[in-house]
Amino acid sequence: MKATLLKFPSHWNAEINVRYVQVADSNRKLVVLFPGKNYSCEKPTLHYAGLAAWECGYDILALEYGYQAARKELEYREIPKVVEECEHAVRQLNGNYEEMVFISKSLGTVVAGEVHRKLGAGAEIRHIYLTPIPDTLPYIHETRAVVVYGTKDDLFPAEMASRMKASSRLQVVAIPGANHGLEMERAEESLEILRELTVLYKDILLEAEYRP
């Protein structure tokens, strides 16, 4: 295994540090982690996604957003800049892989969907959208995806969830009682969700149950 930091300049006048982990030479599979607005790739749902990817033989690209590196708040009008910088990072590796899986959280689900659009139809990409937001719905409906959300998520109400229709391209996983962080009030219950998520990640990455 080889871990390196890829460094890129940012709109926010701070250097972005993107963690790139290669599990083996000439690997053809890559997982890209897209963090949430205030949720880094070191937080639980994405941290265990990275561990699952590593165990399943995927290289890993863990993104950081420019405003996060600069320790600044994100303004809505700046989201295109986030997308632009993430697209630039992914394009550095895009031609090296035959299969990519984007695993994204919250705001990152919008960024991942838009980066996929910009990469074009030739990119072989599947998605795992964790706790999407309403703006994610158009991307969900045009990609091969698994969507995971909590039924107590205030940012993704039941009306939004009802607009997702499971199909051969879309698998929807609702976690009863979980909030936007995919957590419960009791620590033990939150840990059980993480265990279930890790199993789900592996099933998807190994295509044991999910078929595009």
pTM of the model: 0.94
Rounded to the nearest integer, the mean pLDDT of the chain is 92
What pLDDT shows up at residue 210?
Answer: 42
Give 207's pLDDT tier (boundaries 50, 70, 90).
confident
The percentage of residues in the chain with a pLDDT greater than 90, rounded to a whole number, is 81
Q: Which residues contact 209 (CB under 8 A, 6 or more apart)?
A: 203
What is the pLDDT, as a whole number, of residue 162?
87
pLDDT of res. 124: 82
CA distance 9 to 37: 19
The residues, ordered by sequence, that sit 6+ positions from 10 with a Cβ below 8 Å of its Cβ are: 16, 66, 69, 70, 85
What length is written for the chain?
A: 212
The answer on pLDDT for 164 being more than 90 is no
Q: Which residues pair with 126 in a beta bridge?
A: 101, 144
* pLDDT classification of 4: cutoffs 50, 70, 90: very high
The answer to whether residue 95 scores a pLDDT higher than 90 is no
In sequence order, the β-bridge partners of residue 18 are 6
24 band by pLDDT with thresholds 50, 70 and 90: confident
pLDDT of residue 121: 64
Confidence (pLDDT) at 122: 64
Rounded mean pLDDT of 33-54? 96
Given a cut of 50, whether residue 161 has pLDDT beyond it is yes
Residue-level pLDDT at 10: 95
- pLDDT at position 178 over 80: yes
| Cα–Cα distance measured from residue 151 to residue 172, given in angstroms and rounded to the nearest whole number | 12
Quote the distance between the C-alpha of residue 144 and its chain's center.
13
